[in-house]
């Protein structure tokens, strides 16, 4: 069975989507519609901007979303999965590609999400760190030991076996990294991100985004969408909405998502969008599946 998956923030690169825009009339139409919806020419930054311009939160998230979704639309009949999923931001791409959310509404939600997360990041000094080559259980235990009210650190992204990203206040992240290295982590590397995504520090963003999600029409998708918060397949619009809201402060259970998709019959994964990050993760989660990408 075929599964399509969609990348999240961090997959962006200057020049992304340019070939699509120049060679596919449908893609050009959708990119121009996006420029109109956003109120600025995001295509100028995507195609010809600088890395720094592309790293702006208000640009990064809609840019990755647009590249992923427009590519899926342009695949036409070649986009024929039995199931789909997306990593963090990529979940919105998956839902639009699956017909649960319109292109226009998906872009508006992604932009609202980006701006709400940016505000939450500015409210508290916070960051994330990648922990390499340590069991998930050890990381969970140390995070629980270090974390306390006002200085939290939690597991944020279960990317693949041996790679888990933690998220929280800077002081708590630093303390956790030292303890994790002492416990045998090969690396405990602070990431260059604006804040503590997928942690309790995103609560203000969750509240802000909830109103936007609840006001958006979400239909039953054409095929199951495996969502980050519980790694399970969903087709019920009410459940999908609740999970999208919860996603901002909950962990991204990517390892478990891929494992569940494989258990449900997926043996051929295609990453749709910029970069190859998910292909690498999936290959480490299950070496018996076929993995490729379209960008």
- Could you give the residue numbers annotated as active site? 88, 198
DSSP state of 200: G
Cα gap 139→104, rounded to integer Å:
39
Q: Is residue 121 within 8 Å of residue 199, measured between CB atoms?
A: no
> The tokens of 207 are what?
């509240």
Task: Reduce the DSSP state of residue 289 to 3 states and report it.
Answer: coil
User: Between the CA of residue 76 and those of 26, 64, 79, 131, what are the distances in Å?
Assistant: 11, 19, 6, 39
Q: Which residue has the tokens 């609202």?
A: 112
Cα gap 265→287, rounded to integer Å:
15
Q: Is residue 88 within 8 Å of residue 159, measured between CB atoms?
A: no
Cα gap 27→205, rounded to integer Å:
31
Instruction: Count the alpha carbons within 13 Å of 292 in the hemisphere toward its beta carbon.
Output: 5
Q: Which residue has the tokens 């998502």?
A: 257
Query: Which helix (H) or strand (E) element contains residue 35?
Result: helix 25-38
Q: How many Cβ atoms are within 10 Å of 223's Cβ, its own excluded?
A: 20
User: Between the CA of residue 145 and those of 65, 79, 170, 176, what are the distances in Å?
Assistant: 36, 45, 16, 9
Instruction: Count the alpha carbons within 13 Å of 268 in the hemisphere toward its beta carbon.
Output: 6
């Amino acid at each position: 069975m075929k599964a399509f998956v969609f990348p999240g923030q961090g997959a962006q690169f200057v020049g992304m989507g340019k070939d699509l825009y120049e060679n596919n009339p449908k893609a050009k139409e959708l990119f121009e519609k996006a420029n109109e919806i956003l109120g600025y020419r995001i295509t100028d930054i995507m195609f010809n901007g600088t890395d720094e311009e592309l790293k702006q939160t208000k640009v990064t998230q809609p840019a990755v979303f647009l590249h992923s979704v427009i590519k899926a639309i342009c695949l036409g009949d070649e986009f024929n999965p039995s199931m789909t999923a997306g990593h963090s931001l990529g979940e919105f791409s998956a839902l639009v590609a699956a017909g649960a959310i319109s292109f226009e509404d998906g872009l508006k939600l992604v932009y609202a999400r980006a701006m709400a997360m940016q505000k939450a990041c500015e409210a508290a000094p916070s960051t994330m760190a990648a922990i390499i080559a340590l069991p998930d259980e050890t990381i969970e235990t140390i995070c629980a030991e270090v974390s306390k009210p006002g200085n939290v650190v939690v597991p944020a992204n279960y990317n693949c076996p041996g790679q888990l990203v933690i998220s929280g206040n800077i002081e708590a992240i630093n303390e956790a990294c030292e303890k994790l290295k002492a416990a045998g982590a090969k690396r405990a590397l602070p990431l260059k991100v604006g804040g503590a995504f997928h942690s309790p520090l995103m609560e203000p963003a969750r509240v802000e985004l909830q109103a936007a999600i609840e006001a958006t029409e979400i239909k039953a998708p054409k095929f199951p969408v495996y969502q980050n918060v519980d790694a399970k397949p969903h087709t019920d619009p009410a459940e999908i909405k609740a999970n999208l809201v919860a996603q901002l402060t909950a962990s991204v259970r990517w390892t478990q998502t891929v494992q569940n998709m494989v258990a449900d019959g997926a043996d051929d994964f295609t990453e749709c969008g910029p970069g190859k990050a998910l292909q690498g993760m999936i290959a480490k989660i299950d070496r018996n599946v076929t993995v490729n990408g379209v960008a």
